Amino acid sequence: MYNNGVGSWLHRRRPKSGPKVALVAGELELTYAELSERADRLANALRRRGVARGDRVAYLGENDPAFVETFFAAGILGAIFIPLNTRLAAPELQYQLEDSGTRLLVHGAALDALAAAAVEGTGVQRRLVVGAAHDAGPTTAGTGAAGVERYEDALAAAPAEVIDEAVTHDDGAMILYTSGTTGRPKGALLTHGNITWNCINVITDMDVNRNDIALMISPLFHVASLDMGLLPMLLKGATVVLEQKFDPGRTLGLIEKHRITALSGVPTTYQLLAEHPAWATTDISSLDKLTCGGSAVPMRVLEAYEERGLGFSNGYGMTETAPGATTLPVWRSREKAGSSGLPQFFTDVRIVDPIGEAVGPGEVGEIQISGPNVIKQYWNRSEATRDSFADGIWFKSGDMGYLDEEGFLFVSDRLKDMIISGGENIYPAEVEGVIVELEPVASVAVIGVPDDKWGEVPKAIVTVRDGMTLTEEEVRAHLDGRLARYKIPKSVVFVEEMPRTASGKIRKTELRKQYAG
Please provide the distance, in angstroms rounded to a whole number, between the alpha carbons at the two ends of the chain: 57
95 near 116, Cβ under 8 Å?
no
Compute the distance between CA of residue 172 and CA of residue 78 in angstroms, rounded to an integer: 8
Compute the distance between CA of residue 198 and CA of residue 368 in angstroms, rounded to an integer: 17
Compute the distance between CA of residue 460 and CA of residue 490 in angstroms, rounded to an integer: 8
Give a yes or no: residue 302 inside a domain. no
Q: What pLDDT was estimated at residue 45?
A: 98
Q: Show which of 119, 139, 167 is a domain's final residue.
A: 167
Q: Classify 206 as helix, strand or coil.
A: helix
Give a yes or no: residue 392 inside a domain. no
468 near 499, Cβ under 8 Å?
no
Give a yes or no: residue 229 inside a domain. no
- Judge residue 211's burial from the number of C-beta atoms within 10 Å of its C-beta, 0-12 exposed, 13-18 middle, 19 or more buried: exposed
DSSP secondary structure string for all residues of 149-176: EEHHHHHHTS--PPP---B-TTSEEEEE
369 near 411, Cβ under 8 Å?
no
What CATH number does residue 40 fall under? 3.40.50.980
Vertex 443 angle, CA 440 and 445, to 5°: 125
**Taking Cα atoms as reference points, which of 330, 501, 511 lies closest to residue 432?**
511
**Taking Cα atoms as reference points, which of 368, 348, 373 lies closest to residue 358?**
368
**Taking Cα atoms as reference points, which of 431, 434, 322 lies closest to residue 371?**
322
What CATH number does residue 472 fall under? 3.30.300.30
Q: Show which of 114, 144, 167 is a domain's final residue.
A: 167
Q: Which residue range is the domain that position 91 belongs to?
A: 6-167
Give a yes or no: residue 22 inside a domain. yes
Give a yes or no: residue 201 inside a domain. no
Compute the distance between CA of residue 420 and CA of residue 454 in angstroms, rounded to an integer: 8
Compute the distance between CA of residue 32 and CA of residue 15 in angstroms, rounded to an integer: 9
Compute the distance between CA of residue 374 and CA of residue 397 in angstroms, rounded to an integer: 11
Q: What pLDDT was estimated at residue 269?
A: 87
Q: What pLDDT was estimated at residue 102?
A: 98
**Taking Cα atoms as reference points, which of 356, 397, 392 lies closest to residue 377?**
392
Residue 424: count other Cβ atoms within 10 Å of its Cβ.
12
Distance set, CA 186 to CA 96, 415, 512 (Å): 9, 18, 22
Determine the residue type at 372.
P
Torsion of CA 338, 357, 189, 225, to 10 degrees: -10
Give a yes or no: residue 86 inside a domain. yes
**Taking Cα atoms as reference points, which of 426, 331, 417, 324 lies closest to residue 372?**
324
- Kind and range of the H or E run holding 268: helix 267-275
Determine the residue type at 269.
T
Distance set, CA 160 to CA 36, 44, 47, 155, 313 (Å): 9, 7, 12, 9, 40
Number of domains in the chain: 2
> Dihedrals φ, ψ of 311, to 5°?
-135, 170
Give a yes or no: residue 50 inside a domain. yes
Point out which residues pair with 389 in neighbouring strands. Answer: 395
**Taking Cα atoms as reference points, which of 234, 194, 217, 246 lies closest to residue 81?**
194
Q: Show which of 136, 167, 198 is a domain's final residue.
A: 167
Q: Classify 214 as helix, strand or coil.
A: strand
Give a yes or no: residue 60 inside a domain. yes
**Taking Cα atoms as reference points, which of 433, 434, 429 lies closest to residue 482?**
434
Given CA atoms 136, 137, 138, 140 in this order, what sign does their dihedral have? negative
DSSP secondary structure string for all residues of 289-325: EEEE-SSPPPHHHHHHHHTTT--EEEEEE-GGGSSEE
The DSSP letter of residue 344 is P
Q: What pLDDT was estimated at residue 144?
A: 40
84 near 98, Cβ under 8 Å?
no
Compute the distance between CA of residue 297 and CA of residue 313 in angstroms, rounded to an integer: 10
Q: Spell out, as residue ranges, where the chain has pLDDT lower than 50.
A: 134-144, 180-182
